[in-house]
Amino acid sequence: MSYKTARFSGKRKLHAVVIPAAALLLSGMLVLGGCGSSKPVVKKVDHITISSTDAPGLFAFFTQDLGLPVAWPLAEYPGFTTGGVQAGNVNLESLHLGKSSAPATASAGIYGIVFEPYPLSAVTSVLTARGAKPAKPQPQQSVINGKKVTLYTTVTLKTLCADDYIVYLCEYSPEAKARLASRGSGDKPLGNIGLESVREIDITAMDVEATRNQWKKVLAPAAMTAGGLMTVGSGPAVRIVKGDADRITGLVFEVASLKNAKAYLQQKNLLGESTARQEKIDPSKVQGLNIILVQK
């Protein structure tokens, strides 16, 4: 299996980023203007990549402890391990780069925000005009039934990337998209916590105004509130706030019943900090991730 590598630099360090989205497929198998265009280039956040030193353990937490449906099965491939779960309006990927192992102490961090674009053939020039610095498209191909086919194509948006995370587009082939859709979980809420959706992805930025302006320019006409919250289609929103580092800090889950979710987490000894309006999964039980639950 061949996997492409995307690189991004600019004022940031140079990184090699493996894009393993095809694994979820292989395991089971805009009309736009220029820089000032108000027509969207992306539809929503397609999936969120979580890098883990123990991807099987993280995948087990999501599928067994939280009971979330499988989006694509956990599998080890040359160079990485991946597995995906459904979270209502987005998929969550557990990813480990390198040979899979079971470390004494596992750790994880949110590494990638992956947008579903409008046709890349139409949006790439617009993204260039908006200063997104789109990388060269990276098609992922494989031989299926004796024929080489493109499963998906990725384009990294260099301007939106930071040292600790990557932002890119992923355009699936019609066949690949249909395969993903066929794994739909059906009725919600999902799992043992009654998950409805992922409300937001939280990002901190040292230069918060510059970062917000970059996101607004690249993803126009998606609006951003004064508090830095940007809603993009039907997927999770992105919130950008001031911080001491450029990183993705956590996720906010919407649940059907916060009371019931709290009771389950307490029963399973998974409950962390608790307030009247939100519950937090104990980070020590989920490899250090910051996951907050709120009432839908």
**What's the confidence (pLDDT) of residue 232?**
93
SS3 category, 30: coil
> Quick one: fold of 5-181?
2,3-Dihydroxybiphenyl 1,2-Dioxygenase; domain 1 (3.10.180)
Starting at the earlier edge strand, list the strands of the sheet with 80-86: 70-77, 80-86, 91-97, 42-52, 108-117, 166-172, 147-156, 138-144
Whether 96 contacts 18, CB under 8 Å? no
**Which tens digit of pLDDT belongs to each residue from 85-105?**
999 999 999 999 887 777 778
Cα separation, 199 vs 202, whole angstroms: 10
* CA-to-CA separations, 16 to 10, 238, 266, in angstroms, rounded: 14, 24, 40
Q: In which residue ranges of the chain is CATH 3.10.180.10 found?
A: 5-181, 195-295
Token reading at 253: 């889950």
As a CATH number, domain 195-295 is 3.10.180.10
* CA-to-CA separations, 212 to 27, 159, 219, 238, in angstroms, rounded: 37, 11, 11, 10
Token reading at 171: 């355009």
Select the more confidently predicted residue: 196 or 181: 196
User: Of the given ranges (28-37, 129-138, 256-265, 282-291), which has the lowest mean pLDDT?
Assistant: 28-37
DSSP state, 118? S
* Mean pLDDT, residues 1-29: 39
Output the pTM of the full model. Answer: 0.86
Q: With 80 as the cut, is the pLDDT of residue 60 above it? A: yes
